[in-house]
Each structure stands twice: as structure tokens, then as C-alpha cells.
Amino acid sequence: MTDAPAKSGGTFSENILHFARALRRAGLPVGPGRIIEAIRAVETAGIQRRDDFYWTLHAVFVNRRDQRDIFDQAFHVFWRNPELLKKMMEMMLPTSFLETVKDDNQKQISRRLSEALAPSEAPNNPEDPTSEEIEINATLTASDNELLQSKDFESMSAVEMAEAKKAIATMRLPIMDVKTRRQHADLRAGNIDMRRTLRASLRSGGATIPLRFKSRVTRRPPLVILCDISGSMTQYSRMLLHFMHALTNDRDRVHTFVFGTRLTNITRYMRYRDVDAALEAVSEQVEDWSGGTRIGATIKEFNKYWSRRVLGQGAVTLLISDGLDRDAGEGLGVEMERLHKSCRQLIWLNPLLRYQGFEPRSKGVKAILPHVDQFRTIHNLNSLKDLSAILSSPMEVHIDRRSFAA
Amino acid sequence: MSNSLPQTIDAIQDMLKKANYVADRSLATVLYLSLKMQRPLFLEGEAGVGKTEIAKVLAEQLGRPLIRLQCYEGLDISSAVYEWNYARQMIEIRLAEATETANRDSLGSDIFSERFLIKRPLLKALENSGGGAPVLLIDELDRTDEPFEAYLLEILSDFQVTIPEFGTIRAEEPPIVIITSNRTREIHDALKRRCLYHWVDYPDAAREKEIISLKLPGADARLSEQIVLFVQALRKDPNLFKLPGIAESLDWTTALTELDVISLDPDVINDTLGVLLKYQDDIVKIQGSEAAEIITQINREIGTR
């Protein structure tokens, strides 16, 4: 590269730096390396045209499609104002940068971006009662952090519940491994690994050829969890969130979605090591807790926008739902069929199955049932444990449609 | 360098146009940056929007060889980077034994020398066979698994390959790297960080029409206008599972031209919809009344112009 930084002057690079920092606060993964890269890119492409400048920064700062909207808004807000630097200085000070921006243009800015541009607030007062709308049941509250306490198994006491969570935290879901096409060194059996064989042979000067082997690597298939959080599932969803958190932290390639009236991807929050932090983040993200269920519509949304992105490489899908659908199963059958065809194995976990003589009367249940590989109950710790045992055995044995005399 | 690189973004756009590739300004910009900064270009987008085509056009226009690596699950070093020629190595060992010429130390270095190395696409891409560094197309990276992605990191950031028995091979002039992905899974950020990113979108009506008229000059103008509007209407349909790409529009235009169709009507559409839509559910949804509705709307739109 040329010694252009000196030529282009400090202010411009500084503006890019501020822009990058605004993006970072809006949640884009922009590190120092990216910023240097961006300055170099802008020097390379020049700034004769606004759209060139836009796409130059875009090429460097954006690396996922869903970041595009944030970038777009940030770009237009940030680079419109000629008195930018002054504004940026204000941003650093406690006065609100956002207010000035709002005065300038009445255009709506996304919440995420406005948060990123606004001065960071003082940490929330934990005793502020308005910050949490979820009703806290005092008898069950172990600590103030347990925000979703009221969403628990009703029949359990607080102590029992804590015990249950502990048990869940250690749970594993050993869905059988699948063979990949990749091979690794093996001491005894498998194919002959010519490369290692020849190297071993040279060690003895080529006099003998001791055989070395390699065999197929097995690995766990990706896991996709779709969990119903509607009103009828309220009693279970808290426990199940713990379960999903344990799974996500136990293995790689887990994608977690929750749905009620709409679909929310909570994978990123589930990756938080601390289960309480994870659940808190989830409760903030998800807006349709304990509402109605529109299974057909949400599965359709999943199929359209997510299935091709997360169901590759032979994923196993866990559908956790009671199958009670507000839309009475309309369009559900078709979508379930597509879901079933897109994944290696579709497992339906239904808490209602524990009741004696459960029958698939609901239209939703009837629509889902023909398209699942396995149908299991999930209502207490034991059923979760059984699940682990069942899923670890080879799949072929279990392609049975379970009889309902549970 | 025998073929000099275009020096402005406009030049890139002209170059692509000359090769019948209609690119919008944003694509030309990232392409220019990637050539100029010698960074790999990471293209993501739905199937059939012309991601692979860019690499081909680039190689052709710059007069560079195109090296293509098609990714698949389980792709490993021996089929992507290099492999030793074991048969020849064994013979070499036997010969050395028979003639008793070589001692043990020199035999080792002889066996693992370049003579016995079989070069696969990635290693070939680091070589300059005259006429400038090649264009390396790593196609559909999302099909392979994470371990291979990790292996690519060394190649993409330093343009070098390390072979344990042999040493490090470094490219004198970095190849022009184009990586494509259909986004059947997310590629790791570590890899994306080393690249310039661009999302290739479906073209708008005007650009799509230009593409069709450039690629298929024999197609009837009115027909191609109808085709473009029909395909654009399909892309707006929220009920379709798989939207048609540009490749499908081109196929459809070819098919209809072959059938001597001069104007779209519901019957023709019903008969040839399989060229455009690849899922039975989608075809059933569009066939019949839906197609008729779209076509009357299109004709009205064209009529009012």
C-alpha cells in the first residue's frame, strides 16, 4: 500500500473509526483489523462517488446478510451530517446524540441502532419495578434474578425445582453419531493410510513396510430445536429452556428456536454459559410468551427462512410442542411434511402424552403425527432421562409410530 | 504482469459488460477492491444469481487460468491441496534397495520431493504458469465441513500451503480468489474476516431484461419483457419455497424460444413451469388460475406503457 494515510489526513480516518465504533455498538463484529482494512479500502476505491463509498465500507464491515439493514441505516444517519465530528463529540459526552439526530431527520431509526448511537445508560437499577413486567411469584422466588420463576412447573416446590434444574444441567442428549467422509489415524482397523505407512517405512530405510491404518470419523449431527412457548405449554417451557441450554452448551452445531404466534431464533442467547443470563436474554427477546400458538404459520416461516440454513449436513430436529394449534392445523400438514423431508430425523416431544389414553383428537396433533419419526413424552425429569437413552440407540430400530396407550 | 488489472471501478463495469455480465455498481466496487487489495472475495446469495459466473468472466477477461474447487462434505487435503504419489514412491524405494545407491537419510528427502507431489487445485492456484496469477474459484464452500474451512485460513490470509514433509509453498503473486456460498450454513467469521463480503441479490426488472437480451440475443423482445415481469412477480410471492434465479429465467427464455412461443399465455406457462420452479408444491401453487392472474396483470402493465 502507498503512504496514503498521511495524505488523506487524520480526520477522515477518524470518522471511519467513529463510524466503525457506532457499528460495533450496534452489534456488528467490527474489530481494529476491520477498521484498518476499511481505511485502506476507502483509500483504494476513492471517495468520488457516494455509492462507491457505501459499497466499499459495506464490503469490509458487513459479513452476513442480516447485518445489512443495520449498516444501511447507520451509514445514512452517520454520513449525512456535515457537522459529523462535532456530533460525535457530543455522543461521547453525556448529552444525547440521538436527540440531535432525531431533530435533523424524522426518519425512523431502528431500536438497535439508536441504542448504539445513544450514550450508554447507567446500569439499570435492579430494584426498578418497571423494568420487569413479568409477575414474580414471591413464594417461589429464590432470588431476584429468577425472572421467569412464575413460568415453572406448578406442582413443584422451589427446592424441588432447584434440584430439577441441577439435574437438567448435567443432562446429555447422545443422539447417535453419524459417519462423516473424513478419516483419521487408527491404530488397528480401517483402510491403509499410505502416507503414514510410507513414512513409517522410511524410518527403517525402506526395508520393511509396517502398515498404518485410518478409519472414518464419526461426529454428532447438527441439532435443531423448535420449542413451543405458548400458553398451553407454560408449565413446561421454563424447564425445557434449561434443558435446551444444557444441550446447547454440551455440543456444537445446535440451533434453538422458540415459537408461539411467531418464530424467534434464540441460538445466540442460549450459548451464554450462565443459564440465568441466557434465560434473561431470551425473555427479553421473545415477545409472545404464553400467548396463542400458530404452529402451521411458524413452521412455514422456519421452512422458508431457516431450514436451508440450519438443516444442512443431516440435522436432527426436535419439535417440542403439545400440538394444540390456534389455527386448527390449517396448512400444518404440508409444512410438517416439508420439515420432515428436510432433516435426517424428526423427533416430536409432547408433554401431553403422559396422560393415560391420550388420543390425537386435536387437528394439530393429527396433522403433525404422520410426519414424525419418533413421538415421545417430555413432562418430568425421568422422561428427559429416558429420552437420552432412546435417542442414543441407532435410529432404524425406532421408526415406529408409538401406540397411544402410554 | 501480462494482463493488467482494470484501474477504476468504471473499467471493471465495462469489462464485465464486455463479457455479457451485467453487474450493478456495488458488485463492480467490491470486485475492484478485491483485485486491488488482493483480498479474497466472498460471494453469498441464492442459487442461480450468477456467483460462479463472476469467476469465469473474470478469468476470461483477464486472460488468467481458472482453477475451480468444487466443495463437498468430507473434502480433505488429499483431494483439495496435494497428495503424494505413493506408487512411484514405493518403486523408488525398491530401486534404491536393489541398486543399493542411496543411504537412508537422502532416501527420505528424495521420496518426499516435488517429483512425487501430485498437485490438487489449491496448490496449483499458488503457482504462476505465466500470464499472471490464476483465478481460484472455491465453489459452494457451505457444502464442506468446518475442518476444511479452518484449513483454508492459511491459504487465504498468507497465500501459502505448508506440507509437513516438504516445507512451505508460497505464491509469488497471490491468486484472485472468489469464494461462493449458498448459505446452507453459516461460514465461520474467522474465514469471512479475511475476505471482502458481498451478497448477490436477484436483479431488478431492468437489469434482468438486460441480462436476457445480452445472453440470448435471439429472444423476442416482447416475450422477454413478459418473462422478466412474470419472474419478478414470482419472486414477490410469499408462498413459494424456492424462488427462481436468473439462471432459471434464462433457461425459461431459451425453452420458450425453442418452442416458438411469441407471447406468454396460461397454457404455455402451465406446460413449461417446470423449467422455472423446481418444487412440486410451488408448481401446483402457481399453475392454473394464479399464473393466469399474473399474466393478465403483466399484459395490462405492458399495455399502459
Pairing of strands A254-259, A223-228: parallel
- Measured N-to-C along each axis, helices A275-285 and A234-250 cross at an angle, to the nearest 10 degrees, of 120
CB < 8 Å to B86, chain A = 194-195, 198
B103 shares a domain with B25: no
The residue among B99 and A37 whose pLDDT is bigger is A37
A264 shares a domain with A330: yes
B229 shares a domain with B277: yes
Residues A66 and B155: their CA atoms lie apart, in Å, by: 27
Last residue of a domain, one of A116, A144, A169: A116
> What value does the mean pLDDT of chain A take?
73
pLDDT digits 0-9 by tens, A245-272: 888 887 788 899 999 888 999 988 888 8
B221 shares a domain with B264: yes
A77 shares a domain with A212: no
**Residue B292 in contact with residue B220, Cβ under 8 Å?**
no
pLDDT of residue B184: 84
CB hemisphere CA count around A293 (13 angstroms): 25
Closest CA to A66 of B208, B196, B239, B197: B197
B36 shares a domain with B100: no
Who among B25, B84, B90 is closest to A55 (CB)? B25
A198 shares a domain with A242: no
Q: Distance (Å) from the C-alpha of residue A383 to the closest C-alpha of chain B?
A: 32
pLDDT of residue A118: 57
Report the Cα–Cα distance between both ends of chain A, in Å, rounded.
Answer: 72
Last residue of a domain, one of A116, A138, A167: A116
For residue B208, with 0-12 CB atoms within 10 Å meaning exposed, 13-18 middle and 19 or more buried, which class applies? buried
> Cell 401446483 maps to which residue?
B284
Res. B70 pLDDT band, cuts 50 70 90: very high
**Which amino acid is it at A397?**
V
- Total number of residues shown for chain B: 305
Grid cell of B143 as nine digits: 457444502
Residues B184 and A308: their CA atoms lie apart, in Å, by: 5
CB < 8 Å to A199, chain B = 165
Residues B195 and B41: their CA atoms lie apart, in Å, by: 5
User: Closest-CA residue in chain A for B83?
Assistant: A195
Residues A184 and A214: their CA atoms lie apart, in Å, by: 5
Percent of chain A with pLDDT over 70: 69
pLDDT of residue A194: 87
CATH number for the domain spanning A337: value is 3.40.50.410
**Residue A241 in contact with residue A274, Cβ under 8 Å?**
no
User: Closest-CA residue in chain B for A41?
Assistant: B33
Does pLDDT of A120 surpass 60? Answer: no
Grid cell of A243 as nine digits: 434443558
pLDDT digits 0-9 by tens, A81-105: 645 544 554 554 444 444 444 444 4
Residues A364 and A334: their CA atoms lie apart, in Å, by: 12
Tell me the pTM. 0.77
Last residue of a domain, one of B161, B176, B199: B199
A205 shares a domain with A267: no
B64 shares a domain with B18: yes
Cβ density class B85-123: b for 16+ within 10 Å, e for less = ebeebbebbeebeeeeebeeeebbebbbeeebbebbbbb
Does pLDDT of B136 surpass 90? Answer: yes
CB contact under 8 A, B186 and A62: no
Strand order in the sheet with A191-192: A178-186, A213-219, A191-192
B213 shares a domain with B194: no
Residues 327-346 of A with CB under 8 A from B: 334, 338
User: Closest-CA residue in chain B for A331?
Assistant: B239
CB < 8 Å to A195, chain B = 78, 84, 86
Q: Residue A153 domain-assigned?
A: no
B229 shares a domain with B191: no
Q: Residue B4 domain-assigned?
A: no
Q: Residue A162 domain-assigned?
A: no
Residues A352 and B183: their CA atoms lie apart, in Å, by: 37
B95 shares a domain with B34: no
Res. A394 pLDDT band, cuts 50 70 90: low
Highest-confidence segment of A175-184, A204-213, A218-227, B106-115: A218-227
Residues B271 and B177: their CA atoms lie apart, in Å, by: 41
**Residue A244 in contact with residue A275, Cβ under 8 Å?**
no
CB < 8 Å to A254, chain B = none
Residues B233 and B225: their CA atoms lie apart, in Å, by: 12
B34 shares a domain with B63: yes
pLDDT digits 0-9 by tens, A169-191: 776 666 677 788 888 888 877 88
A392 shares a domain with A321: yes
Last residue of a domain, one of B147, B166, B199: B199
Who among B37, B90, B104 is closest to A44 (CB)? B37
Using a CB–CB cutoff of 8 Å, tell me whether B188 touches chain A: no
Mean pLDDT (whole number) for A392-406: 44
Residues A385 and A382: their CA atoms lie apart, in Å, by: 5
Grid cell of B267 as nine digits: 397454457
Residues 56-75 of B with CB under 8 A from A: 73-74
CB < 8 Å to B23, chain A = none
Does pLDDT of B198 surpass 90? Answer: yes
**Residue A31 in contact with residue A83, Cβ under 8 Å?**
no
- Supply the ipTM of this predicted assembly: 0.77
A287 shares a domain with A184: no
Using a CB–CB cutoff of 8 Å, tell me whether A313 touches chain B: yes
**Residue A165 in contact with residue A242, Cβ under 8 Å?**
yes
A393 shares a domain with A366: yes
Cβ density class A89-125: b for 16+ within 10 Å, e for less = ebbeeeeebbeebeeeeeeebeeebbebbeeeeeeee
CB contact under 8 A, B108 and A181: no
Q: Residue A363 domain-assigned?
A: yes
pLDDT digits 0-9 by tens, A60-71: 999 888 888 888
Name the 3-class secondary structure at A87. Answer: helix
A365 shares a domain with A249: yes
Who among B29, B90, B142 is closest to A56 (CB)? B29
A294 shares a domain with A229: yes
- Total number of residues shown for chain A: 406
Q: Residue B269 domain-assigned?
A: yes
CB hemisphere CA count around A145 (13 angstroms): 8
Name the 3-class secondary structure at B47. Answer: coil
Q: What are phi and psi of B112, to 5 degrees?
A: -100, 55
Q: Residue A157 domain-assigned?
A: no
Q: Residue A359 domain-assigned?
A: yes
Last residue of a domain, one of A116, A131, A165: A116
pLDDT of residue A276: 82
Radius of gyration of chain B (CA): 25
A310 shares a domain with A191: no
Handedness of CA B26, A304, A308, A389 (dihedral sign): positive
**Residue B143 in contact with residue B74, Cβ under 8 Å?**
no
Q: Distance (Å) from the C-alpha of residue A323 to the closest C-alpha of chain B?
A: 23
pLDDT of residue A203: 79
Pairing of strands A345-349, B160-163: unpaired
- Measured N-to-C along each axis, helices B9-18 and B51-62 cross at an angle, to the nearest 10 degrees, of 100
Question: By residue range, what is the domain housing residue B164?
Answer: 9-75+120-199
CB contact under 8 A, B108 and A202: yes
A81 shares a domain with A23: yes
Does pLDDT of A78 surpass 60? Answer: yes
In total, how many domains does chain A have? Answer: 3
pLDDT of residue A151: 33
Who among A41, A183, A194 is closest to B37 (CB)? A41
CB < 8 Å to A308, chain B = 182-184
pLDDT digits 0-9 by tens, B203-225: 999 999 999 999 999 888 889 99
Cβ density class A184-208: b for 16+ within 10 Å, e for less = eeeeeeeeebbbebbbebbeebbee
Using a CB–CB cutoff of 8 Å, tell me whether B18 touches chain A: no
Residues A147 and A127: their CA atoms lie apart, in Å, by: 13
Q: Residue A141 domain-assigned?
A: no
Question: By residue range, what is the domain housing residue A354?
Answer: 223-404
Q: Residue B3 domain-assigned?
A: no
